[in-house]
Each structure stands twice: as structure tokens, then as C-alpha cells.
Chain A
Amino acid sequence: MQPDGSPTGTAARRIAETLKSGNRRFEWTPLRFDGTMVPLEVNATSIEYDGETLIVLVSRDITERKELNASLEKRVAERTLELLRANEQLKNAEEELRSRNEQLQRHRDVLLELTHSDKSDFAQALEKICSRSAATLDMARVSYWSVQEDGSAICCEVLYRRDTESFDSQPKANSLVFAEYPAYFEELAAKRPVVANDVLTHPATSGLAENYLKPLGISSLLDAPVWDCGEGVGVLRHEHIGPPRIWSAEEIHFVAALAAMVSLALEESSRAHSGLLLRESEARLRESEARFGTAFRASPAAISLLRLSDGKFVEVNDAFARWLGLDRDSIVGRDTVELNIWQNREERDQFLADLRRHGSVSEVERQFRSRRGTVHTIVLSAEIIEINREPHILGFGIDITERKQAEVELRRSLAREKELGQLRSYFVSIVSHEFRTPLGIIQSSAEILEDYLEQLEPAERRNHLESIRNNTGRMARIMEEVLLIGSFDAGKIEFKPATLELGAFVRRLVDEVVAVTAQRCPIELLLAKPPDKIQADERLLHHIFTNLLTNAIKYSDPGQVVQFEIACAGSEITCTIRDHGIGIPEADREWLFNAFHRGHNVASRPGTGLGLVVVKRCVDLHGGKINVDSELGEGTIVTVRLPI
């Protein structure tokens, strides 16, 4: 029986094995009578003895050895366990190290990326920083809060939410007033990040708990202040939701680096902004300079710029230089007195005084002298402007001399036109009156003859008939003379000189006049050595002498001699017609050559008042001169000088 209670078969088997192999060693734990068990090492050997097989058992108490073995085994097992554990720990540490390494690497990559990214647009840079940080640190909310201008609070500018992977649409709704959370802001003001593993217990953040952190479920918080030019300008906030989170040193460093990145972005964007502004204003300046320059140079108005203090020209445009007749370099640096531009010094002083008093003078007409010595009327406007903080006079001048002259010319021609119009209507009224009279006489005489023929004496009838005939003739003469004058005025009668035998011509003419005037007065012709042939316009001469001789006879008493003398001197002939008639009253002499004007003393002597007008036109056309010398009651001497 085995001490472990196993069936005795085991013993039998051991014996069998021993018998078979001759020797067998094995352990055996017999149960002793006292009930204890003792481990034995048994060495069984089969011996052939006497035909019989004997088994010799040698046993040895192995209790001690057994105990030693067990202790050893136990220690080995313990050691193995220990080793395994250490190995595990080592693996963990390695893992952690690698993961931290990776984290650090990630942090570094993000920071590198952010460093190299364009930060000229601050809002975009902020969004990038917040979103990258949230992804890198697996943060619920990352936001940037800027200090308000009055320095009393911070206000959220950008808020990235990891749950929706988007930016909050109204971040500005969140703000924190300094005065309400002094502990928190004091911490930030000390340029230290607020590292709150548990916001509820952290001294800087516990104040924020009720109003801010708890409602949002924020458990941990890592806020880094953003500094710019030594001034706290904002806070980069990392908010963790869920079980409190222990911030690692790497994370704290990372966030601090991000805060520095924000400050960089702030600087870069403001630099970019001011650069943009500078570029814009430079461009605007260039543009306006170019525009002004073009306007200044190309303006047809004369533009000048003078220093107010000494009145020296600083700049003039081409139009000014052109007008003055000097080149620009000869003008700049000199004043208007040196250049002697103002026609009137007092006007200049007055102008400058007005300009100083009012700051500007607009559109005054003044006289200026150019270097060519011509005087021009200029419409001048000027304004005091500041250039490089020094007052200058900017002057604009427009030369209206020509316009003025044209105006004067226009006014003159208008006046002439008006005068002509008046003359024309005067002429018409005179002519109509001159026609009316003979017409009236003809009409009334005809009516009288018609209605009262029976009552009229034969002599009276003859008188009326004579009136009709005479006045018809008068009208015809007027008509003829008016038409003739009209021809002169229309330029239809031209001076056409031809060879003329003067002596024969005047004799024929005298005969004609004597016949026409019914030999009322004898004409004494005096021809002192006349040249045989002259160059003259016979038609014009005919008009001149017929009229003058007829006049002389008409205003003389019957029988009184009219003298007609023709003398030659050099290249002209002088024709004198002298009568001893009624003469011309002094008052009428200046109207001699006006149409229809007749002397007041003509009484009933027939005439149209057009004869002398015709004479004058003819003499003018012939290039000659006419002179009338008369004494009332003594007679008249008309002298005509004609070039031949």
C-alpha cells in the first residue's frame, strides 16, 4: 500500500520493472505506523539466487533532501515571477518613453509647422493654433481670449471644439472680467501658465468654477498667457472635459510654446497689416502725386507755387512758363517783383493782403506783363496751402486777354450792327416819307380832279395835272437815286478807270446840265491846261459833276453864273464848282452827306436829299476827296480832288 493511497499495483509495477531491467531506483513514501510519512529513495536490485529471483531493497530517508528541494523550487518560482514582473515594467517604461518621445515629436512637428506657417492674418493663425493644439493634445476646447482695450476683461476670440471639430460661431459671447476673478488673473499676470489638474481645487481656477467651469463640465485647465511687447494681451486656454487630467511637463511646455506662437502671430500680422497700410498709403500717395503732377504739368491754366514767406517761386508749370516767356529754371527762386509780372504793384499788394486774410482768393481779373512786354488780363485764383509744414501760395491763372478782346470786338460789332439796323430803319422811314409826300400829292390831286372837276378853274386843273406829273418825276428820281445808293452799298458799282478825254467830257456834261435845267443859270467852264487824256471812271465823274452842277444851279437865282473850274496839279485834278446861291446854313453842314437831309433854307426848291450822298460815294470810289465851303446867302464852293 502506497502512502498516497494509490493502488498497490504501483508497487507491483515497480517490482516488475525492477525484475525486468535488473535495477530500479525510485522514490517511495511509506506511511509509518505512527501515521507519519517519510520520503524514501529506494534502490531495487534483482539478484538471481538459487534459481530464485531475489529483490534487494536499499532505502534511504530523503526527507531533508526533499525539503531542500522544495525550498529551492519555491525560490526559483519566486525569482522567475520577479523577473517577469521586472521585464514587464521595463517594457512599460520603454513604451512610455517611446510614447512620450512620440508626443514630443508630435509637439515639435506641430510647433515647427506653426512656426513656418503664414501668420499675417491673425484670425486665421489663431484658428490654426487652436485646432492643431486641440488635435495634438486631444483637448475638448481650445480657445484664445484677448485682453479688452480698456484692460478690464478678456474676451474669447476663437474657440475650437473637439467634439464638433469646428469653431464656435459666437466666441465673443464669452468674456471674463478681471475684477471678478482676481486669483486667476494674478497668476496670469505673473507670466505663469495656470496649470489646473483639478479646476475645482486649484486656487487660481476654483473661483471660475461656479459660473464658468462647472456649467461647461470642465475638469482640468491649462491656460498660458500671451505677451506682446511686455504687455499681457491674451490667454491661450486649454479646457479638458471628463475625469481630471494630469498635465505633463511636455504638455505645459507645448502650450507655453503655442502661447509664444500666438504672440508671434500677433506681431507678424500687425507687421503685415501695417506693411499693407504702408504699401497702400504709399501707392495712394504715388497715385495722387502722379495725378497732381500730371494735372500740374498738363494744365492749360498757368499754375505756380510760391513760398508765402518770401514770395519766391518754388514751382511753375509749362503753361505758366510759356505764358511768361521764360523757362522754368529762370522763374524758380525769383519773385513776382523781380520778374516784374504785375502790371500794378498796388494790386499785387492788395491781392497778397486779401490772400493772407482769407486764405484764398478766387477768380479776380488782374493785369499781368509777360516777358514779351505784352499786357494780359488774367483771371487769377490763389490759395494758401501747406507743403512740408510751410505755407505756400498755389496760384491758378487763365489768360482771358483774347476772350476779352473778342468780347470787345463782339460788343463793337453788335453796336455796329445795331447802328446799322437803326440806320436802315431810319432810312426806310425817311424813304417812305419821301415817297409818301409825292404819292400823297398825286393821289389827292387825282381825287380832286375826279370829284371836283366841274368846280375847278381851268388854271387850277392845270396846276393839279402839273403836280401829278412833277411828283411822278420826283418819285422816279428818288427811286433812281435810292437804287444807285443801294448799288454802291451792295458793292455793285466798281471803280472802272478808262482813258477819258477830259475836255470833251466836261464840255458835253455842261451842255447836258444846262439843257436839263432849262438854261436857268449859265455855266462858266474854266479848263486850265487840262491833260488831253486821263484815266478815270466816266460814269462816276458823270454822277459827281451832274449832281454838283445841278445843285449849284438849283440853289442859285436864275441868271446867276455858276463857275466850273478844272485844274491839274501833278497826279491829281482839282474841280471846283462855285455858285452865288443861297448857301448852306451852318447847322446843316455836318449833315451834308446824310441821305434825305436837306438844308433848312431849300424852301420849295425840289430835291431828294440824296444827291450829295451819291456824289460822296462816287468820290470815295474814285479815291478822291470832296470839300464843301459855304456861306449862307453868299454861295457855295465845292472842291473835288481826284487822282488821275
Chain B
Amino acid sequence: MKKILVIEDEPEMRRNLTTILRPEKFHPLPAENGRIGVALAKKEKPDLILCDVMMPELDGYGVIAALRSDPETVRVPLVFLTAKGEKPDIRAGMDMGADDYLTIGQTLEFFQLLADLATDADQAKREGEH
């Protein structure tokens, strides 16, 4: 099962994200701030990281800077979670090496798309095995 690290300081948001991921057959790893998120990323080597931008202790930019400076995590895809209209944030995030960004409204659709892709890939894999 694909591991997805969710770095989000708002507990309810964090809960909701993990809730959405679980039925889609992902293994969510919740982290309540950037510092914990980076530590977890190094330990668990997730397949994808979803990361809030504004957080106490270590914000999203701090997280990506830490991850991209470590060869172990340099290639982990990271997607920023951001509010609609926060364009300067997006630009800054992309400049620092984020792979994409999601606005809140897109989150659920995105996850479903991810799940579909994963299912397709599994099916292809299984079909290949047969």
C-alpha cells in the first residue's frame, strides 16, 4: 500500500485528510507539524507527501528545504496544500522544488484520481502476473 505523509497542523484538517485517504487504500501517515513531518519522512520514506504551508515550528517551505537537502528524501514527490488565491505561496513552493500544489477544493478529486491510478496500476500488475 502506498504511504502518504500528511503534514498538517490543524487537527481536524489532518483527521479529515487521513479519513479521506484510508478508504482509498492508501496508508496515511499524519504529522502535526513540519518538524515531525520531516522526521517521519526520513524514517518512513513515503511515496507522496501532502504538506500544509503555514504551520508553527517549521512551515511548508522549511519542510521542502529540509527534504530536498537530504539525498534520501530528495526525490519524494511533495504537494503543497494551499488556499485558493495564495499565488505567491505557490510560486515560492514551486521554486523550492514542490511538485505540485492543491487547493482545498481539489483535494478530494485528487485523491480519487490517485486511487484510480493506483487501482489501474495494480490491475495491470496483476494482469501481467497472470
Contact = CB atoms under 8 A, between A and B. Distances in A.
B13 A437 contact: yes
A484 B41 CA distance: 42
Interface string B8-20: 0011110111011
14 contacts: A436-B82, A436-B104, A439-B83, A440-B104, A441-B16, A443-B104, A444-B20, A445-B12, A447-B108, A448-B20, A463-B15, A464-B16, A600-B56, A604-B11
Nearest to B108: A447
Contacts of A451: 108
A433 interface: yes
B70 interface: no
Which range contains the number of B residues in contact with the other chain? 20 to 34
B83 A432 contact: yes
Given A444-B104, A452-B23, 9 more contacts: A432-B86, A439-B104, A440-B104, A444-B13, A444-B16, A444-B17, A447-B20, A463-B15, A604-B11
Between B57, B83, B84, the greatest number of chain A beta carbons within 10 A of the residue's beta carbon is seen for B83
B42 to A, nearest CB: 23
A467 interface: yes
Interface of B: 10-13, 15-17, 19-20, 23, 54, 56-57, 81-86, 88-89, 104-105, 107-108
A433 B83 contact: yes
Q: When A and B form their complex, which 7 residue pairs have the shortest distance between CB atoms, in order from nearest?
A: A436-B83, A444-B16, A440-B104, A441-B12, A467-B12, A447-B108, A437-B10
Between A440, A443, A445, A448, the greatest number of chain B beta carbons within 10 A of the residue's beta carbon is seen for A440
Nearest to A455: B23
A113 B47 CA distance: 128
Contacts of A219: none
Nearest to A466: B12
B86 A441 contact: no
A435 B85 CA distance: 12
Contacts of A576: none
Contacts of A444: 13, 16-17, 20, 104, 107-108
A463 B83 CA distance: 23
A555 to B, nearest CB: 16
Contacts of B86: 429, 432-433, 436
Contacts of A464: 16
B83 A440 contact: yes
Contacts of B15: 463
A441 B56 contact: no
Contacts of B23: 452, 455
A133 B57 CA distance: 122
A471 B12 contact: yes
B19 A441 contact: no
Contacts of A435: 83
A433 B103 CA distance: 12
A551 B16 CA distance: 28
B13 A441 contact: yes
Contacts of B82: 436
A432 B85 contact: yes
A464 B12 CA distance: 9
Contacts of A429: 86, 88-89
Interface in A461-491: 463-464, 467, 471
Contacts of A600: 56-57
Nearest to B53: A433
Contacts of A448: 16, 19-20
Interface in A286-339: none
Contacts of B17: 444
Contacts of B88: 429
Nearest to A433: B54
A454 to B, nearest CB: 10
Between B16, B89, B104, the greatest number of chain A beta carbons within 10 A of the residue's beta carbon is seen for B16
Interface string A614-639: 00000000000000000000000000
A432 B85 CA distance: 9
A443 B107 CA distance: 10
A569 B23 CA distance: 65
Nearest to A599: B56
A452 B12 contact: no
Contacts of A432: 83, 85-86
Contact of B16 (A433, A439, A445, A455): A445
A439 B85 CA distance: 14
A54 B16 CA distance: 218
Contacts of A443: 104-105
Nearest to B83: A436
Nearest to A467: B12
Nearest to B10: A437
Contacts of B108: 444, 447, 451
B82 to A, nearest CB: 8
A443 B81 CA distance: 14
B32 to A, nearest CB: 10
Contacts of B83: 432-433, 435-436, 439-440
